[in-house]
Amino acid sequence: MPRGERTTYVLVDGENIDATLGSSILGRRPRPEERPRWERLLQFAEERWDQPAVGLFFLAANGELPMSFVQALLAIGYRPVPLSGPPSEKVVDVAIQRTLAALREREADVLLVSNDGDFAPQVEDLLDGRSVGVVGFAEFRNTAFAELVERGLQTFDLEYDVGAFNARLPRVRIIPIEQFDPADFL
């Protein structure tokens, strides 16, 4: 059932997802065809909770705005949030934490796209009856989020649930037997 005027805010921690993809999954910098198709994430959010989604893509700009990436984000419906600050400050984390806190005052649902447990306290504060989810790579998701599932947090995998990639990633994961296909290993 449509929820009427509610909105889902999709907060993307691009640095976290990019670092996990490059360092932990691929072991190298992702090629363009190996990067997530971010428009699929917005579509997933809209379909999952049957309401409009607003995508906020947080990125550390540090004096230089990656205009081609910003223009691509704008073209697919995201609002880029380029940030700068001292090298010692995790500006993306600070901005996402502030945004999650500000969303407590709105009647809105939230999908956080990150594996980073630094956001767990703010995510927990949002578990007040609204729909709240975390999207990332299941095997790299911080365990602090697992502890919030019994309170209502929904978890989604960027590859398997959202379908954000054109090619299968070389991931090692626990496979539910009903999903096991020996052809994947032969």
* Confidence at residue 169, expressed as pLDDT on a 0 to 100 scale: 87
Residue percentage of the chain with pLDDT more than 70: 98
> For residues 159 and 7, what is the distance between their CA atoms, to the nearest angstrom?
23
Q: Which residue type occupies 87?
A: P
Question: Rounded mean pLDDT of 61-84?
Answer: 91
* Confidence at residue 62, expressed as pLDDT on a 0 to 100 scale: 79
Question: Rounded mean pLDDT of 141-159?
Answer: 96
User: What is the length of the chain?
Assistant: 186
**Beta carbons of 112 and 123 less than 8 angstroms apart:** yes
Strands 132-136 and 154-157: parallel
Question: Rounded mean pLDDT of 76-88?
Answer: 93
Helix (H) or strand (E) holding 141, with range, is none
pTM for the model: 0.90
> For residues 54 and 119, what is the distance between their CA atoms, to the nearest angstrom?
19
CATH of domain 8-184: 3.40.50.1010
Lowest mean pLDDT among 55-59, 70-74, 85-89: 85-89
pLDDT at 1 over 50: no
**Beta carbons of 115 and 141 less than 8 angstroms apart:** yes
pLDDT at 5 over 90: no
Helix (H) or strand (E) holding 57, with range, is strand 53-60
With bands split at pLDDT 50, 70 and 90, how would you rate the model's confidence at 70? very high
